Amino acid sequence: MRIFGAVLAVCIMVLPMAAMAQGAQVAFGGLKHDSSLPVEIAADQLKIDQNTGLATFTGNVLIGQGTLRLGAGSVVVEYTTQGGDVQNMRASGGVTFSNGAEAAEAQSAVYAPGSGQMVLSGEVVLTQGNNALAGERLVINLSDGTGTMEGRVRTIFQTGNN
């Protein structure tokens, strides 16, 4: 999937249909999500520190919440020491994120389940069907399906004539 992202990023930079901007508002209809659903995590290893409220998952980490999927090399989960509620998840190491037909890749991501906000950072590439969007930072509000791509934004919109 990382190779696909690199190829897509190169295509985004060289294709003549690419539009350039400093920031872009994006509709994420397919990324609208119910953050109250249970979160499931699978990984090769787990280290828990109950004193700090941190759980560190490493190796082939896959997180699922409803139809939302996030994969990474490692994820640090911060939880409340009383009650065990998840405050946020910080993913790094080849982050992939998907929900239905929409998918994104980035170097890192922070997800706050309580607010439904996901922030992807570092060489972000988002695909929505045949369309692609790239930038340095993508902030998604999963509660209402909206988002903002920041940094040098590059995009390709398919016109349907292909």
Predicted confidence (pLDDT) per residue in 9-66, tens digit: 333 333 333 333 445 556 555 556 676 778 899 999 999 998 899 999 999 999 988 8
CA gap 35, 38 in Å, rounded: 8
> What integer pLDDT is reported at residue 119 of this predicted model?
96
Cβ-based neighbour number of residue 46 at 10 Å: 14
Q: Output the pTM of the full model.
A: 0.76
Instruction: Give the amino acid at 96.
Output: T
Question: What structural domains and CATH numbers belong to the chain?
Answer: 2-156 (2.60.450.10)
- Looking at the predicted structure, is the pLDDT value of residue 92 above 90? yes
57, 71 in Cβ contact below 8 A? no
